[in-house]
């Protein structure tokens, strides 16, 4: 049985990163989106992490074009699949109006699911596509900052619309490196994790309000601070309000202020036209 939607509605929110094409949403996606609407989420961006995932995301967005957008790209875990043919199709998809960013792309040296040289090549190819198509980038970096930063720097002047370092979990020096490049910073439920998110919690005040974005990365990163704890470990956009209130408490700002500024930031970066009524 589904959980009932909460009657408590947050100020208008945009979830900039939700993997709604994930198999865990196959049976109840419409309900998941309604729960998101019920708490004040006015728009969601569906993440493309491979060519098949981007195509699934597009199919979902086409059913809800007024509520959803998507990204198109190849995640570093999938970099080994990033052939010339795949890149050609990603380019065609990324040229569509509903595709608001290139990615998820970047480097992940934590798990090394694809060889590092191949990750770097795929990352550079997608950055180049973003420059050519005049789109922002949706970035992933884990345990790879020393290579990620110089590659990103090499393209930054051509990236007219910049991008977001999605699901930021790094150290303060890394944060300032990205802010120095005028990148946006995406914060997820990682910040609600008392085991590994404490350092991030303490850094939230270092993120300028006009550079902060909120996201769930659903179905991953269910906020551990939720009470009562959900029966399922699946994260969903409904829980973005937990990230919002955690950020607000840590920065001494009101939840309304954080919501309004992060929503405005998302609209600006991704050039979204969102009905907040």
Whole-angstrom CA distances from 70 to 1, 142, 183 are: 29, 22, 19
The string of pLDDT tens digits covering residues 256-273 is: 999 999 999 999 999 998
Q: What is the model's pLDDT at position 275?
A: 74
Q: What is the CATH number of domain 13-270?
A: 3.20.20.140
Q: What is the model's pLDDT at position 277?
A: 60
- Identify whether the C-beta of residue 259 lies closer than 8 Å to the C-beta of residue 244: yes
Q: Which parts of the chain sit beneath pLDDT 70?
A: 1-8, 276-277
Q: What is the model's pLDDT at position 4?
A: 35
Give the predicted TM-score (pTM) of the model: 0.95
Backbone dihedral angles phi then psi of residue 154, each to the nearest 5 degrees: -65, -20
Q: What is the model's pLDDT at position 263?
A: 98
Q: What is the model's pLDDT at position 65?
A: 96
- What residue segments make up the domains of the chain, in order of their start? 13-270
């Amino acid at each position: 049985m589904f959980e009932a939607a909460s009657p408590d509605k947050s100020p208008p929110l945009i979830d900039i990163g939700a993997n709604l094409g994930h198999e865990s949403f196959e049976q109840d996606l419409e309900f998941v989106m309604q729960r998101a609407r019920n708490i004040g989420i006015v728009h969601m961006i569906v993440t493309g992490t491979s060519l098949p995932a981007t195509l699934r995301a597009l199919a979902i967005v086409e059913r809800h074009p007024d509520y959803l957008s998507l990204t198109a790209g190849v995640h570093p875990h999938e970099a080994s699949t990033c052939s010339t043919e795949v890149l050609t199709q990603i380019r065609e998809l990324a040229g569509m109006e509903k595709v608001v960013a290139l990615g998820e792309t970047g480097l992940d040296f934590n798990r090394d699911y694809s060889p590092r040289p191949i990750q770097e090549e795929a990352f550079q190819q997608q950055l180049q596509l973003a420059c050519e198509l005049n789109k922002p980038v949706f970035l992933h970096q884990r345990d790879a900052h020393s290579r990620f930063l110089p590659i990103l720097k090499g393209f930054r002047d051509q990236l007219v619309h910049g991008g977001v370092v999605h699901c930021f979990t790094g150290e303060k020096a890394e944060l300032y490196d990205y802010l120095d490049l005028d990148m946006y910073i995406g914060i997820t439920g990682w910040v609600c994790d008392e085991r590994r998110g404490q350092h991030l919690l303490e850094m939230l005040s270092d993120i300028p309000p006009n550079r902060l974005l909120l996201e769930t990365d659903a179905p991953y990163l269910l906020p551990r601070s939720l009470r009562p704890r959900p029966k399922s470990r699946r994260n969903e956009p409904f829980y973005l309000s937990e990230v919002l209130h955690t950020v607000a408490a840590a920065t001494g700002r009101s939840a309304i202020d954080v919501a309004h500024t992060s929503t405005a930031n998302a609209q600006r970066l991704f050039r979204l036209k969102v009905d907040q009524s």
